[in-house]
Structures are given as C-alpha cells and as structure tokens.
A and B are shown apart, each in its own frame.
Chain A
C-alpha cells in the first residue's frame, strides 16, 4: 500500500474509533447546540473549534499506547511520520468540519431571525475554525506522543495555567507568545493582510504547527514501542 493509502487508512480508522464512542458524540452535539443557542442571543458567530479539537485530539497517540494498539499498528511497515500526520489530519479535519457546520447552522438561524451575517464574515469564521482546529490539533498530538493515555489534556491544561500565572511576573509578550503556541489560530484578516503584523501572525501560526508536527514525529521515532517495552 502506498504511503498516501496508509495515511488515508489511518485517518479513517481514527475517525471510526472516535465516532464509536457515544460520549464524544453526545458531548459534541450538546456543545455545538449550546453554541448555536448562544449565537441567537449575541448575534455573533462563534465556532466551538477549541472544545471539539480537544475532544477529537485528546489521547490520539497516548490512548493507542496504553491500549496496546500501537505495537499492533507498527507490526506493519507504517512510517511513524505517516502515523503522526494521520492523527493530526484526522483530529483537525473532524473538528474543523463540525465547527464549520455549526457556524453554517448559526448563520442560517440568524438569517431566519432577520439578522443575516455577511457571507464574508461566515467564510472568515470558517477559515478561523479550520486553522484553529489544525493548529490546536498539532499541539495536542505532540503532547500525546510524549505522555500516555489522555495525559496530553492534563499537560496542555497545566501549560495553559502556567502561562496565565506567569502573566504577573513575565513580560506580556512572553505570555502572549506562550498562549499563541498552545492555541495557534489564524484569522482571515491576518492571513489576507499585507502588513508586517499580518505576516508575523501567518508565519507564527505555520511555524508553530510545523514545529509541533516535526517534534511529534521525532519523538515518535525515538519511542520504543513493543509489548516488552511496556
């Protein structure tokens, strides 16, 4: 099977595994519905991409390690970079797609209630939802390679907390960059802008995502995965 074929097979199996857990489905529906209800009050589009990405990406590698699935996967000639990229794409695409769907429902409801949202704003929100989903997924996948189970969620929350607590002592710029690293996102305004601040946002986002994926692949390459390794 080609590398692309393996990638697609791994993406599909990840989606299948996530969708087979009813709790994830229920939580996603409840959360998206609450975001839609809120949009009616605020007249603002609001994507649930952060929550959905955390839900879809949590333990994406770590759970495979603890459940013993990973040694089975690697009995096949699967490149570790393919495995890591598949986890990232699966989580990012699923969270992005569901977020986009939620935004479309919000826009339709607002239009129905006489407060139409311009098409440009809807497409910008969808763009931000996808970039946010793929950005956060890259961070979670990196953490997931480093810690077993859903320890990546705990680690992510702890790092976020450290960033918030350091706001009192660390320079504001450091705190901002710290948060931007943990929650990378890109707004259409920044991506389409030609000013330096816009370029910085674009480069920062892409840098964070590639750096996380690169580190994740390198960490996965160094990982001893076998039943004997525990």
Chain B
C-alpha cells in the first residue's frame, strides 16, 4: 500500500460512496415493492373466535394465546409480518396454542370483557392463559421477532422454579 503522503488526505471515499448509493437505491426499490405487495395478513396462524376459545382449549388441552392488536397499530402489523406470517413461527403457534385474536376494532361483548379482564392497556399485547392458572404470561409492545418467539416458547413450557421472590409473574 502506498503511503498516505503520496495521496490527498481529503480523497473522495469512492468505494463507500458507490456502496452507499447502491444500497440506498436498493432500499428504496425494496421499500416501494414491499408497499405494493404486502404479506398475507394472518394467513398462516389459524385464529379462533374468542367465544369458542376456552372450550377449545379445554378439549385440546392447550393454553390460549390471546393477541390483542389493531389494524391502525404499526407495531402490531410489524409483528404480523415478522412473526405470524413466518411459516415456522406460525406452525409452532398452531401446534402449541389455541390462538385467538382480539382486534381493537372488535367491540363485541366478549372482546371487551377480555380486554377488561386482562387489563390490556397497550397494543400489541400477547397473553398466554392456561386453564386454572391465575398468572397468565404476558408481553406488551413488539420488541422484535426473536424476543417474541422466545416469549412464545417460554410461555409454552411449564413454569420453571425461580428464586423465591423473584418471579415477575407472581
């Protein structure tokens, strides 16, 4: 490599500039394409009706996964695209839970009752309820696919004994 003194110290970053321009064009192109080709909403998770969930959970012996969301809620849509439209995650949810979506737009009595009973204050909220368990697992907000899937996997397992007094669900 030639010493710097032989070149201008204010040389234009040509490689970086080309890379940045190329990536910016690709970013805009993918963004525009993505906006015109949205993923199928809820196409992979088999959502059940809220009023039939408890009976289904008792019959199938599976916990209920409530997804409190809204059409206007961007993080909910992001979770939809990244988690519920992901084949592997959706398959896990379908096999492990009785999935129930409670949309904010749904003003049916049972949906309102569920929101009140589980004190849903922010969207999205995921709630895992087992029969006879008074302490449902819950996660509020969308903090990325990895954490959401980790939550879903952890909530599917029987509660692990924690240090006395440190159980955040107690």
Contact = CB atoms under 8 A, between A and B. Distances in A.
A190 B30 CA distance: 14
Contacts of A80: 9-10
B3 interface: yes
Nearest to B166: A41
B150 interface: yes
Interface in B9-29: 9-13, 16-17, 19-20, 23-24, 26-27
Interface residues of B, number: 42
Contacts of B23: 203, 206-207, 210-211
A164 interface: no
Contacts of B154: 43
A213 interface: yes
Interface string B62-81: 00000000000010000001
A77 B4 CA distance: 6
Interface string B127-170: 00000000000000000111101100010000011110010100
B43 interface: no
Contacts of A207: 20, 23-24, 26-27
A96 B86 CA distance: 29
B3 A79 contact: no
Given A113-B163, A196-B34, A187 B13 contact: no
Given A79-B4, A196-B37, A210-B19, A203 B161 contact: no
A81 B4 CA distance: 11
Given A79-B9, A187-B145, A189-B145, A172 B3 contact: no
B89 to A, nearest CB: 9
Nearest to B167: A41
Contact of A1 (B3, B13, B30, B161): B3
Contacts, number: 111
A77 B3 CA distance: 9
Given A4-B1, A172-B74, A207-B23, A121 B11 contact: no
Among B34, B81, B147, B149, the most chain A Cβ lie within 10 Å of the Cβ of: B147
Nearest to A204: B27
Interface in A111-142: 113-115, 121, 124-125, 128
B59 to A, nearest CB: 31
A121 B146 contact: yes
B39 interface: yes
Q: Which of A1, A124, A203, A217 has the most CB of B within 10 A?
A: A203
Given A197-B39, A213-B16, A77 B5 contact: yes
Contacts of B161: 114
A221 interface: yes
A121 B149 CA distance: 10
A64 interface: no
B61 interface: no
B62 to A, nearest CB: 22
Contact of A221 (B10, B31, B166): B10
Interface of A: 1-4, 6, 40-44, 74, 77-82, 113-115, 121, 124-125, 128, 172-173, 175-176, 187-190, 193, 195-197, 199-200, 203-204, 206-207, 210-211, 213-214, 217-218, 221
Interface of B: 1, 3-5, 7-13, 16-17, 19-20, 23-24, 26-27, 30-31, 33-34, 37, 39, 74, 81-82, 86, 144-147, 149-150, 154, 160-163, 166, 168
Given A196-B30, A207-B27, A211-B20, 19 more contacts: A1-B4, A77-B4, A77-B5, A79-B8, A81-B11, A81-B13, A124-B146, A172-B74, A173-B74, A188-B146, A195-B86, A200-B30, A200-B34, A204-B27, A206-B23, A210-B23, A211-B23, A213-B20, A214-B13
